[in-house]
């Protein structure tokens, strides 16, 4: 059983990064080609509940959870190789995007340098996040795995070493990302500069422990010409005693008609609501997304003895901008294997944390906070050494959504996932 689990991770890691130059050197300078396929069917049983991009209605075939990836690696010298990975996702109409494109060079037998388009090592499963075959879920719980991007252009260096009787590795990365980013189902032009981070992984028998930190300077292209007419009209209505919900509702309708997106509107509403409630101008200025620092922390522990396994992972997002609320999320998952069959259960949670002082007061007035819980039960059946059939059921409870009581829903998913 342990051999099967190790094979999953070895295959997935080879597809995701082709990181081992020594292994590729054995290919006698030929191209190495790896790939993966995820085919998914889903059904969501309730409207107005946000679980990633799933929509309620009839069962949906091969739209979410469906992707095809192909990676090609070519050794250039004994220590240098080139790697390119393309992914075609059903939700993007199978348009091929370059998810990885880098040169790697083995500085020593234990130290490797990579440069190009890389994955940001946010999570425990970051390096093979798209390779569904590598883990028991159809996809990792979105309460925790919620960062809206996973690649950047830059460099990283990985050093493997021994720590007492244990193996370990440290990775340092730096770069930037100037590409559109999707937030709340809407696209924004973004510039993420100074993406810098470090992660440390310790391998201790059946346990693996990981701790990581990332930060970036965030710029989002918002409609910053803050519609003065809407602002003045709304403030005037509030001063005249018009019900705040009615006044803000009318402002929202006007902004929507003018093409304002959710964060565009939130920035203008921060100005309106903050001014109406006597919030200081300095605090209102914090409700922008221009050169705002974002910090990310990750901590994970896994255990796998071949029959039983568990994963515990936690993340914390700290935003300098008041428009995005600090968030703490975590998951705990356990699995039991019965030959080719694996059953698993997962609890995950996401909690927004408003700031203190006037900044937190304005965040509450804007109803920016939310809280989610999810319970996932699933089975995985390994049809052969590289193919898995999976079925997951997730009960998702929105305790709070935009500061108001939320709803709950059940998401049913079936997927066939393989590597080659």
**Burial of 38 per CB tally in 10 Å (0-12, 13-18, 19+):** buried
Q: For residues 314 and 328, give the distance between their C-alpha atoms in angstroms, rounded to a whole number.
A: 7
Specify the pLDDT at position 224.
60
The yes/no answer on whether domain 2-222+288-419 falls in CATH 2.40.160.10 is yes
- Residue 286 CA, chain-centre distance (Å), reads 25
Q: CB-based contacts of 74: which residues, under 8 Å, 6+ apart?
A: 29, 31, 32, 81, 82, 83
CB 197 within 8 A of CB 216: no
Domain ranges of the chain: 2-222+288-419
Q: How much is the pLDDT for 252? A: 82
Return averaged pLDDT per consecutive 10 residues of the chain, 420 residues in all: 49 51 47 94 83 76 92 94 96 92 97 97 93 96 91 97 93 96 87 97 96 95 73 82 81 83 86 88 90 96 96 97 94 97 98 92 89 96 96 92 82 96
The mean pLDDT of the chain is 88
201, 172 in Cβ contact below 8 A? no
Residues with Cβ < 8 Å from 384, sequence gap 6 or more?
none
Per-residue confidence (pLDDT) for residue 22, from 0 to 100: 38
**Rounded to an integer, what distance in angstroms lies between the CA atom of residue 349 and that of residue 342?**
23
């Amino acid at each position: 059983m342990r051999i099967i689990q190790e094979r999953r991770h070895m295959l997935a890691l080879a597809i995701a990064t082709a990181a081992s130059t020594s292994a590729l050197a054995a290919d006698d300078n030929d191209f190495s080609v790896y790939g993966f396929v995820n085919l998914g069917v889903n059904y969501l049983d309730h409207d107005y509940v946000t679980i990633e991009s799933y929509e309620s209605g009839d069962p949906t075939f091969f739209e979410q959870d469906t992707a095809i990836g192909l990676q090609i690696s070519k050794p250039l010298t004994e220590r240098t190789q080139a790697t390119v990975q393309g992914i075609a996702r059903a939700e993007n109409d199978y348009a091929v995007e370059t998810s990885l494109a880098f040169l790697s060079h083995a500085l020593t037998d234990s130290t490797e340098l990579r440069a190009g388009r890389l994955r940001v090592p946010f999570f425990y499963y970051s390096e093979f996040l798209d390779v569904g075959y590598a883990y028991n879920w159809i996809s990792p719980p979105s309460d925790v795995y919620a960062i809206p991007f996973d690649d950047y252009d830059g460099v990283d260096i990985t050093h493997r070493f021994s720590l007492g009787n244990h193996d370990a590795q440290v990775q340092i990365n730096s770069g930037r990302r100037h590409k559109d980013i999707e937030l709340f189902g809407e696209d924004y032009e973004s510039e993420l500069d100074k993406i810098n981070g470090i992660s440390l992984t310790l391998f201790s028998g059946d346990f693996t422990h990981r701790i990581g930190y990332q930060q970036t300077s965030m710029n989002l292209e918002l409609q910053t010409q803050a519609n003065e007419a809407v602002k003045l009209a709304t403030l005037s209505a509030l001063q005249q005693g018009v019900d705040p919900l009615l006044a803000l509702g009318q402002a929202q309708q006007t902004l929507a008609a003018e093409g304002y997106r959710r964060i565009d509107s939130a920035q203008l509403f921060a100005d309106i609501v903050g001014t109406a409630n006597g919030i200081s101008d300095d605090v209102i200025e914090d409700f922008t997304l221009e050169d705002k620092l974002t910090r990310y922390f990750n901590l994970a522990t896994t255990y796998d003895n071949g029959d039983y396994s568990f994963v515990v992972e936690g993340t914390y997002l700290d935003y300098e901008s008041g428009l995005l609320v600090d968030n703490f999320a975590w998951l705990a998952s356990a699995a039991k294997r019965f030959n080719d069959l694996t059953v698993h259960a997962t609890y995950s949670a996401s909690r927004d944390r408003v700031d203190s002082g006037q900044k937190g007061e304005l965040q509450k007035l804007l109803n920016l906070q939310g809280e989610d819980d999810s319970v996932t039960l699933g089975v995985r059946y390994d049809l052969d050494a590289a193919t898995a059939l999976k079925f997951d059921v997730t009960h998702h409870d929105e305790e709070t959504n935009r500061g108001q009581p939320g709803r709950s829903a059940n998401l049913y998913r079936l997927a066939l996932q393989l590597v080659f």
